[in-house]
Chains A and B, each alone.
Chain A
Amino acid sequence: MNVRQYFLAMVLAAFSVVVFAHHGYADRYDEENPITLDAVVVEMQLINPHSLIVFNVRDEGGKVVRWSGHLGSGTNLRRNESWTKDTLKPGDRITILGAPTINGAPDILLARASRITRTDTGEEIKNSLARGIGGRRF
């Protein structure tokens, strides 16, 4: 390989392991290529260490697919982002932006750079896009 490729390979090698070890997100999610989903909430669980949203997405063929979304700790969502047990209720329509899985499984990372809005009103429920990769907490 030429020098430029070698250079790049070493940059990637040095960074990739370092940054994301703590949660293991790098192993599962592609944070460089976020996706947007039109979702209907099935269930929300504000728990620890990772909260969970279960939701349905209609795929291109019209089939309903069950997805899950992973967030940060329930304590932090409640404390820092004012979520309550009623923030998302079954049947709520939301638009979600987050990091998809690397392997294509119906799961999305919402703990870091992500955004959730109510589809009908545009009301923002969560916006941590500013955090991105460099600014995320832990």
Chain B
Amino acid sequence: MKYLVPTTIVFFFGCPLLAQQQQGIPDVPAVVAELYPEHEEFLRMPAPSLPDGTPDLSGVWLGSGPMRDIRLGLTPGEELVLLPEAQALMDSRLARDDPEASCLPTGVPRIAPYPWRIAQAPLNGKATHLYFLFEGNIHSYRQIFMDGREHPEDPDPTWYGHSIGHWEGDTLVIDTIGFNDLSWFDFQGHPHTEQLHTIERYTRTNFATLEKVVTIIDPGSYEKPFTIQFNATLRPEWELMEFVCNENNQDVPHIVGPASMIPSQ
């Protein structure tokens, strides 16, 4: 019994880390099937442009995130620091209560491990609207206004918020406010409030890579803003398929355990 306390200590710090390895769900695209043969070549090709000179972000993309844990994307030097109430909320969350498990939207910037596209309107000429079309999660879209408008003074809170976008050089910058507080940032259950303000920066660094850098500002949940990066990979051989989450969703009654798989640090 003299080994009881040290054993306990070793286990409660060691096991979650081991478990994280064991779990083996890295964020997409590593998760999914092998990359296509031309992928290596595409990494050396430059990103294409549209006739008006703006970068062309069209294509079927897979990945970016967060998915499993938003902390996996923290850029060097960045820290995610939860306010005490937000930490308590996260600690109390059960995995089965993730809205994603009930076919509700994953909001911004969380992504499902299914492909998605960026489409613009009008097709030829300066975009007034950009649409993110998602195959997975709930087969829905995000609408980004590109026509120079401002955010409304008092937006109705929604799952995806009110998004306005503009180009800064080769980077698409999307500013979003007007979120409800219902979506979770990841499977872990990192929360946010209606004060959430996200600034996403998309840069197609080569033909097959879309870098996504997001600054999360939410004084209701986090002590300070933090920045994450998760990249997407081009899947030119794919098309989006239909995925109706409500068709055969059986999981919720069977999901056990807390959402947060790793004790707070």
Q: Which residues of A contact B (CB under 8 A)?
A: 3, 6-7, 10-11, 14-15, 17-19, 21-28, 45, 47-52, 70, 73-75, 78-80, 134-138
A17-B261, A79-B241, A137-B113 known; A25 vs B254 contact (CB < 8 Å): yes
Cβ–Cβ contact B248 & A27, under 8 A: no
Given A21-B255, A49-B245, A75-B135; 13 other pairs, CB 8 A cutoff = A3-B4, A3-B7, A10-B11, A21-B95, A24-B256, A27-B256, A47-B247, A47-B248, A49-B103, A49-B243, A75-B241, A137-B31, A138-B25
Interface-lining segment among B16-24, B45-53, B164-172: B16-24
Interface residue range, chain B: 35 or more
Query: Which residues does chain B contribute within 8 Å of A52, judged by CB atoms?
Result: 248
- Alpha-carbon separation in the docked complex, A7 to B103 (Å): 39
* B33 CB–A CB distance under 8 Å: yes
Q: Tell me the minimal C-beta distance from A98 to chain B in angstroms.
A: 16
* B253 CB–A CB distance under 8 Å: yes
- Cβ-closest chain B residue relative to A81: B33
Query: Which residues does chain A contribute within 8 Å of B255, judged by CB atoms?
Result: 21-24, 27
Cβ–Cβ contact B3 & A3, under 8 A: yes
Query: Which residues does chain B contribute within 8 Å of A50, judged by CB atoms?
Result: 248-251
A17-B257, A137-B32, A138-B31 known; A24 vs B251 contact (CB < 8 Å): yes
Query: Which residues does chain B contribute within 8 Å of A23, judged by CB atoms?
Result: 251, 254-255
Cβ–Cβ contact B247 & A48, under 8 A: yes
* B99 CB–A CB distance under 8 Å: no
- Alpha-carbon separation in the docked complex, A51 to B248 (Å): 8
Query: Which residues does chain A contribute within 8 Å of B8, judged by CB atoms?
Result: 10
Query: Which residues does chain A contribute within 8 Å of B42, judged by CB atoms?
Result: none
Cβ–Cβ contact B243 & A48, under 8 A: yes
Query: Which residues does chain B contribute within 8 Å of A136, judged by CB atoms?
Result: 24
Pick from B3, B19, B113, B242: contact of A18, CB under 8 Å: B19
A22-B255, A24-B252 known; A134 vs B31 contact (CB < 8 Å): no
A10-B8, A48-B247 known; A19 vs B256 contact (CB < 8 Å): no
A-B contact pairs, 22 of them (CB 8 A): A6-B4, A10-B11, A15-B18, A15-B22, A18-B261, A22-B255, A23-B255, A24-B96, A24-B251, A24-B253, A25-B254, A48-B242, A49-B103, A49-B247, A70-B250, A73-B114, A73-B243, A74-B241, A74-B243, A75-B135, A78-B241, A79-B238
Pick from A21, A51, A74: contact of B257, CB under 8 Å: A21
- Alpha-carbon separation in the docked complex, A122 to B31 (Å): 29
- Alpha-carbon separation in the docked complex, A14 to B15 (Å): 6
Cβ–Cβ contact A18 & B245, under 8 A: no
* B35 CB–A CB distance under 8 Å: no
